[in-house]
Structure 1
Amino acid sequence: MEAVVLRTLQPVRSPYFCRLFFCGRAERFNFIIMTLVGKNLNELRVNCPKQRFSRSSGIQIGIQMMSAIQQLHAVGFIHRDVKPANFCMSLENPRQLVMVDFGMCRKYVTDGGCELRHPRWFVHGFKGTVRYAPLAAHHGRDSSRKEDLESVFYVLVELLVGTLPWMTMEDTVHVEHAKQIARTTGLHEFLSGCPKQLVHILLYIDSLRFYDAPDYALIRGLLNSALENCPHECAYEWEEEMKNERRKSEYLRSKEEVELEDG
């Protein structure tokens, strides 16, 4: 599935996805060769002061996550395992987000791409990561584009606040219950520390139904309005560190090439 999705994305030539160089089978294992990427959002967040991004960095990353998920949906797939570890920063550009790990993707359109697939009538096993899974996944229902957006929302809240109310819970039932409470009676407490636009975004996502095509531009517009009082051009918290690592890597590579020539 990883190779199928990446191959489908290649004509798009999007900066939000890795380039697929080759894939195949060798003896008893499958392999895939694709673009090397940098640290993921979870690694970057825990290294930040208070383990959260600044509002400027977090919102700009949220806008990029929304664009990446829109492009994945545009080629007919839903991700079903959206989480910080599945978004990495490009090694070429420390401000560019790259979405990875498509092993749990599913086509939400028919093979011709003209019609939406109907939800399966039976309850199936849990898919995704408990902390960021949409409510539908907790109930064993089929996911749609809406559910990907719900997971992106949870990721964004964690990046901005540094935690989620159910972060220390592992039991699926308890996490589901905590999410229900946070999204109803405790909505404003849940989003404390986040810009007010996130309340409108969550209410919009909740209004979507299985077959609805999300208005990605609407969500990006709300996120952009949350950036109005933030410095857009400030470097991300990790940007300078990644530049230094890249310079060090280039230096070591050039040194190695010189040694090889001399040898």
Structure 2
Amino acid sequence: MSKRNYSPNGLKRNTLHKADMQKDKQPKSITPGTKQTRATTTGRKKPALLKPYSKIKSKTDNVWRILAHIGSGGFGDVYKCELEGCSSDEFFAMKTESHTAKMARLRIELQILEEITAYCIRKQCPHHFCNLMDSGNTLDFFWIVMTLIGPSLQTIRKILHKQFSKTTTLKMSLQILDALKILHDVGFIHRDLKPGNVCVGVPPGDDHVLYLLDFGISRRIYRSAKSRELRKERKKVPFFGTRKFCTRACHLELDQGRKDDVETWIYTTLDLLHNDKGLPWANCFSDPAKVLEKKLALFENPSKELHTCVPQQFCTIIEYVRKLNFEDEVDYAFIETEIHNIAKERNLNLKDKFDWKGRLEELIKDNEASKHNRKKEKDEDKGEETLMMERLQQKLKNNKIADEHQNDRTFSKDDYISEGNKHKDTETRKLRKKHQTKGALNSESTTKKNVLDERNF
């Protein structure tokens, strides 16, 4: 893997050494060299999908053979692939990003995976992240290859056709928190944690392990990869996140720290606990101001806002997170203890199997065989993208999209009318103006500098 050039202000986008950049300009694709494109629902052009059995050659002479298109996201496409000449039946995932992408984030994901892999090997800790296998360029896109994993928790919940059990939810929450602890210790915050960005391993052997993925809007929290000095808190930051799960700071366009990842962990756990009653704002996604109001109210009085199905210990966790400032470290052990207290109080055995253990393969096959389910999931998956620099007062161009499609979507700014145009959410602006102070989130920081450069992640 090529070396990276770190600046004092953090890793800048595409910061390869000059020699590596020259190599990267030489496409190694075995696929046809003509630049074919396809139209998207947003009107933007993307590279045409790779055909089955297309081949991509890396700088290290690895040849990756495309087997199937798995899915598409805000930053590119994902394919199932295999290493040519490998005798084993091991499969991998290739993620691609067009060279014309307005926000080149896949190289950032590459850097994060490299640092996490090195950290987990050095610390010999549980690996809740994909292993990076290879990377390179074609004429049309940059690509990385990583270990193939199973479906997301969002997908599993759909194909189970029921709520997760309390035991499974608590087990999932502990693994996700462990992944966040590792990510923060390496030096990054995720900023887009949600059930759709947590997957299980490939069944049957690895489906008891959860994997955190999609680091497209992650950010380095230290000044550089080698420094443990925190970056200065910024006064104003564009909206980067998913409306359903993003933090109060994200709504208010304030800088996010490690405490904010834990806040999204709370929302994710509550949603996994019950997808209708877990989150107080589960049925008001069409009103961004209402979502923000509900989140602020939850942290002011959690016992009043939470449904009775939510264990009381989550009130304690919420009150703890409310007291954290931007620069504070998180006491993960305290949160883990509260989760174990829930299990002890309710006589739950956290060594029990996950709800899907031993039958996930069968459930996936049944789900794929149903055309009706495929169509339904296609519609619901519109809610799985992430809102980029969306100010919460912008409207969808297509007003016919249902609330269900907006609930946990991470939109591109191109999907929306800009903040400076006529369409503004007056209530959201009022709430933001009222609460856009450090005091609103119990932060006592007096940082005055406003450094807004999302390219420097």
Shorter-normalised TM range: 0.7 to 0.9
Match of 2:129 in 1: 17
Task: State which of 281, 288, 295 in structure 2 corresponds to 1:172.
Answer: 288
| Residue of structure 1 in register with 2:273 after alignment | 160
Structure-2 separation of matches of 1:99 and 1:40? 10
**1:185 deviation in Å?**
4.3
Tell me what 2:153 maps to: 41
Partners of 2:159 and 2:364 within 8 A in 1: no
Q: 2:200 aligns with which of 70, 86, 89?
A: 89
Deviates more, 1:172-181 or 1:98-107: 172-181
Give, in whole Å, the separation in 2 of the partners of 1:126 and 1:194: 29
How has the CA–CA distance of structure 1 residues 244 and 23 changed in structure 2, closer, same or farther, with 3 Å as cutoff? Answer: same
2:110 is the counterpart of 1:3: yes
- Residue 232 of structure 2 corresponds to 118
Deviation of residue 235 (structure 1)? Answer: 2.1
Question: Counterpart amino acid of 2:233?
Answer: P
- Secondary structure at 1:3's aligned position in 2? helix
2:251 aligned residue: 138
Further displaced range: 143-152 or 162-171: 162-171
**With CA pairs under 8 Å and 6+ residues apart, which has the higher RCO, 1 or 2?**
1
- 1:234 counterpart residue number: 352
Instruction: Please list every run of 5 or more consecutive structure 2 residues that lacks an aligned counterpart in the other structure.
Output: 1-107, 366-457
How many Å apart are 1:47 and its aligned residue?
3.3
Measured against aligned partners, the alpha-carbon deviations of 1:16-58 in whole angstroms (never above 9, x if no partner) come to 0000001121112111100111111111223345x42111000
1:27 is aligned, of 125, 139, 160, to: 139
Provide the TM-score with structure 2 as the length reference: 0.51
CA contact (8 A) 1:20 1:35 kept: yes
Q: Deviations over 1:111-157 (max 9, x none)?
A: 13220001113x22111100000000000011000000000100000
Which position in structure 1 is the counterpart of 2:299?
183
In the aligned structure 1, how far is the partner of 2:154 from the partner of 2:304? 24
**Counterpart residue type for residue 181 of structure 1:** A
Higher alpha-carbon deviation: 14-23 or 162-171: 162-171
Consecutive unaligned residues of structure 1, counting only runs of 5 or more, are 248-263
1:245 shift after superposition: 7.2
Given that residues 170 and 350 in structure 2 are in contact (C-alpha distance below 8 angstroms), is that contact kept between their aligned partners in structure 1? no
Q: Match of 2:335, SS?
A: helix
What is the TM-score when the length of structure 1 is the normalising length?
0.87
Q: Cα–Cα, structure 1 residues 58 and 77, in superposed 2: closer, same or farther, change >3 Å?
A: same
Q: Deviations over 1:48-94 (max 9, x none)?
A: 45x42111000011001110000000000000111111100011421
Decide whether the 8 Å contact of 2:159 with 2:363 is kept in 1: no
Alignment-derived partner of residue 254 in structure 1: none
Give distance in 1, aligned partners of 2:199 and 2:326. Answer: 28
Q: Identity, % of aligned pairs?
A: 30
Taking the aligned partners of 1:125 and 1:87, their CA distance within structure 2 comes to 24
Asked whether the 8 Å contact 2:303–2:312 carries over to 1, the reply is no
Counterpart residue type for residue 116 of structure 1: L
Instruction: Check whether the contact 1:76–1:113 (CA below 8 A) recurs between aligned residues.
Output: no
CA distance in 2, matches of 1:241, 1:30: 36
Checking the alignment, whether the CA contact within 8 Å between 1:78 and 1:145 is kept in structure 2 is: yes
Matches of 2:245 and 2:237, distance apart in 1: 18
AA aligned to 1:3 is L
Write the distance in 2 (CA, Å) between the matches of 1:221 and 1:188: 23
Alpha-carbon contact 1:138-1:173 (below 8 Å) kept: no
Which is further off, 165-174 or 127-136?
165-174
> Is residue 2:316 matched to residue 1:200?
yes
1:188 and 1:125 map into 2 onto residues whose CA distance is 31
What is the identity, as a one-letter code, of the residue corresponding to 1:52? Q
Q: Distance in 1 between matches of 2:132 and 2:299?
A: 39
Root mean square deviation, CA, Å: 2.0
**How many aligned residue pairs are there?**
246
1: CA distance between counterparts of 2:117 and 2:336?
Answer: 24
* Residues 159-182 of structure 1, C-alpha deviations (whole Å, 9 max, x = no match): 112232222313432210121223
Residue 104 of structure 1: how far off its partner (Å): 0.6
For 1:148, which of 247, 258, 261 is the aligned residue?
Answer: 261
- The match for 2:60 is none
Q: Do structure 1's residue 77 and structure 2's residue 188 form an aligned pair?
A: yes
Find the aligned partners of 1:66 and 1:186 in 2 and give their Cα distance.
Answer: 20
Whichever of the two has the greater Rg, that structure is: 2
SS at match of 2:114: helix
